[in-house]
Amino acid sequence: MSKRMLGDIAIDVAIEIAVDDGFPPEMLVPDHDPAILEANRALIQPFCVNPTTGGLKLSIHTWIVKTGKQTILIDTCNGNHKERPNFELAHHLNQPYLERLAAAGVHPDEVDIVLCTHLHVDHCGWNTQLKNGKWVPTFPNAKYIFSRAEHDQWNPLAPGHDESPVNLGVFNDSVLPVIEAGQAELIDGVHGLNDNMVIKPAAGHTRGSILMEVQSKGHHAVFAGDTLHSPIQILRPEWSSGFCGDPVKSAQVRRRLMEHCVEHNALLMPAHFPPPHAVRVRADGNNFTFTPE
């Protein structure tokens, strides 16, 4: 856990899986330039590059945000006991995720809002849990917020839905039960969550990806989902991940995000950065660099 304060807002993280060996850079960020990574070795190794394997280290985790009035979870990882035959990392998991939430002072009944930045397999799995052979919402009193465009991308009944093999079954076991329970809210465009938080579209990684900007007492942060997977993408925002549905749009969104972080000195808090999970972004000529924080 790495609890921190952003003004009056308390932020923590619950890790489901730490991928310390890392993903091969050519798979995760296929357009990267090894020469640029070598020039920045002191910055990225061992923070986000495993010095033994050369892999890009990732964390699959949930951000926990407490305002004093609300407890908000951002992205809910893979989930236990899910059938994920095309994504071995998430197949038939049995992780102590709820115990890690409890260690951060979060009980499922006390969660007010669950925000999914998108509906890939590793971002919405703990939306539900298996009870008596049925998938039911893990957080029974929470409002679950999804982008409408994201919902439509993965809903098997929606025209033009995505049939990605990796996401097979995710909508039916991790999204539909929430909708059927009457706990889902579908949003469009810019959406104010409260006085401190605003959700904004960030399409590119998926059609309906969103991010959340937060401010409190002059401090700023951005919960960026999969707008970027690895800190190496800060160095060159044009390096989209191998999982981005629209790499060109993703790169455009990422550059605007880096510019926002520089302008507001915003703490950047994506879904998969390894510990300490957050960075400060700085301008570096026409590109950017960062400091883990």
pTM here is: 0.96
d(CA 215, CA 95): 32
Q: Residue 252 has which token pair?
A: 């455009």
Cβ-based neighbour number of residue 200 at 10 Å? 15
For residue 16, the model assigns a pLDDT of 98
Asked whether 56 and 104 are in contact (CB, 8 A), the reply is no
Considering the domain delimited by 4-292, tell me its CATH architecture.
Answer: 4-Layer Sandwich (3.60)
The kind and range of the H/E element at 37 are helix 34-39
Mean pLDDT of 143-172: 94
Each residue's pLDDT tens digit, 228-264: 999 999 999 999 999 999 999 999 999 999 999 999 9
Q: How confident is the model at residue 3 (pLDDT cuts 50, 70, 90)?
A: confident
Q: Which residues have C-beta within 8 Å of that of residue 237, sequence separation ≥ 6?
A: 228, 251, 254, 255, 257, 258, 287, 288
Cα radius of gyration (the chain): 18
Looking at residue 160, its pLDDT comes to 86
Provide the token pair at 164.
């990605």
Helix (H) or strand (E) holding 154: helix 148-154
How far, in Å, CA of 290 to CA of 40, rounded?
Answer: 11
Domain boundaries, the chain: 4-292
